[in-house]
A and B are shown apart, each in its own frame.
Chain A
Amino acid sequence: MTHVLASAGSTAAATSQSIIFWLLAVVSVGSALGMVIARRAVHCALFLAAIMLSLAVYYAMQSAPFLAFVQVIVYTGAVLMLFLFVMMLIGVSSRESLVETIRGQRLAAAIAGIALVVLLIVAIGHAALGPATQSVTNGSTGNITGLATLIFTTYVFPFEVTSALLITAALGAMVLAHRERLSPKPTQRDLAKQRVASGRPTPLPSPGVFALHNAVDMPALLPDGSPSELSVSSMLTRRELGDDGTPMLPPVPEESGGPGPDYDNPAGRLAGDGEPVEASTQGGADA
């Protein structure tokens, strides 16, 4: 009875494993194709995250829980974040031109890829791959203990070499990212002189100080009612550039009698508000 139950349980486990395998195979291969095809670099990074997470599930299914966690933490956590950081520094919206620089290169690359797949699959088909063993423990108590035993006994020299490699990589990244200062750092005195010489010693006007809007992308209104472009951050205006390259200032609400709200004449606003009331009373009089 217990034997039957155990066999049924192992069959169910095998079935669920194969279901997960095919599901994630579709996801990972589709994401890999999407990564090759997608135009924007951020979409490629998202596809790569999907591939890495599905590979982590594969590792967990193949009795490699340590590698599954390392895959999620190191790859999806660290490496992909590094990619995203560099992407943000370089310009997240940069699109790649789809013009082929070498004629027929894509077709040749696709043919080469398919040929590589066929070659390797034929090679795998000829190789005698045995069935999967049930447990991968290396004679130790568990996966992590076995890995630690191997790393610190058999593979201790490669392990030390990787530490040297990591230190070298960190130093190399620091050297490459370092930039020498070519001009002396401006002191506070220099900055003050520069500000006076620029013709505007005062701070810039703050945006949206009027009663209707206080959003940072709303320009402040000058005394004559015209919007002040200086009050909006140049980053915000650059984000909303029009087709002709000029910043699109948000529309100033149209009110009766002027380009902006007429704060000097509150009676005008009251008269404007009173108009519908007059209309309704007229309608009432007609009825």
Chain B
Amino acid sequence: MSPSAYVTLSVILFAIGGVGVLVRRNAIIVFMCIELMLNAANLAFVAFSRMHGNLDGQVIAFFVMVVAAAEVVVGLAILMTIFRTRRSTSVDDASLLKN
């Protein structure tokens, strides 16, 4: 398969993840959609790495995975704290600064 097919697939997955972030209310699912976007970016990195024939893209994808793991850990801890105080994970409910 040519790299353009992989990159197109990663674009589609990225856009679906972005739509999920915009549409969903549950903060956990919003996090999952962000993970999907990061995964799509990784797929593009790997495809470009294959296209150029060197491993730099795979190293970047590896770093993206590490950063995503750290982001998930902190994000889910914040989510737990919000749930403990507000009994809800809806992103609409956490609007203390609004009113």
Using a CB–CB cutoff of 8 Å, the interface residues on chain A facing chain B are: 14, 17-18, 21, 25, 28-29, 32-33, 35-36, 41, 44-45, 48, 51-52, 55, 58-59, 61-64, 66-67, 70-71, 74-75, 78-79, 82-83, 86-87, 89-90, 94, 96-97, 101, 105-106, 109-110, 112-114, 116-117, 120-121, 124-125, 129-133, 135-138, 143, 146-147, 150-151, 154-155, 158-159, 162, 165-166, 168-170, 172-173, 176-177, 179
* Contact indicator A74/B65 (Cβ below 8 Å): yes
B90 to chain A, nearest CB (A): 8
Is B77 interfacial (CB 8 A cutoff)? yes
Interface of B is mostly: helix
Q: How extensive is the interface on chain B, given as a class? A: 35 or more
Q: Which residue of A lies closest to B11 (CB)?
A: A120
CA distance A74 to B39 in the complex (A): 12
A57 to B49, CA, bound (A): 16
19 new A-B contacts at CB < 8 Å, known A58-B6, A83-B76, A90-B28: A32-B13, A32-B20, A35-B20, A35-B29, A78-B69, A79-B68, A86-B76, A90-B89, A109-B19, A110-B19, A113-B22, A117-B12, A121-B8, A136-B58, A147-B62, A155-B59, A162-B67, A166-B66, A172-B77
* Contact between B58 and A66, CB atoms less than 8 A apart: yes
Contact, CB under 8 Å: B2 / A132? yes
Most buried by B among A124, A136, A155: A136
The minimal Cβ–Cβ distance linking B75 to chain A, given in whole angstroms, is 9
Residues of chain B with a CB closer than 8 A to A166's CB: 66, 69-70
- Closest-CB distance, A275 to chain B (whole angstroms): 57
Interface string of B1-44 (1 = CB under 8 A from A): 11111111101111111111011111011011101100100110
Name the contact of A173 in the complex, choosing from B26, B29, B56, B77 (C-beta under 8 A).
B77
Interface residues of B (CB under 8 A from A): 1-9, 11-20, 22-26, 28-29, 31-33, 35-36, 39, 42-43, 46-47, 49-56, 58-59, 61-63, 65-74, 76-81, 83-84, 89-90, 92
By the criterion CB–CB under 8 Å, are A176 and B80 in contact? yes
How many A-B contacts at CB < 8 Å in the complex? 234
Contacts of A70 in B (CB 8 A): 62, 65
With A32-B16, A36-B19, A36-B23 as known contacts, state yes or no: A132 contacts B62, CB within 8 Å: no
Residue of B nearest to A62 (CB): B50
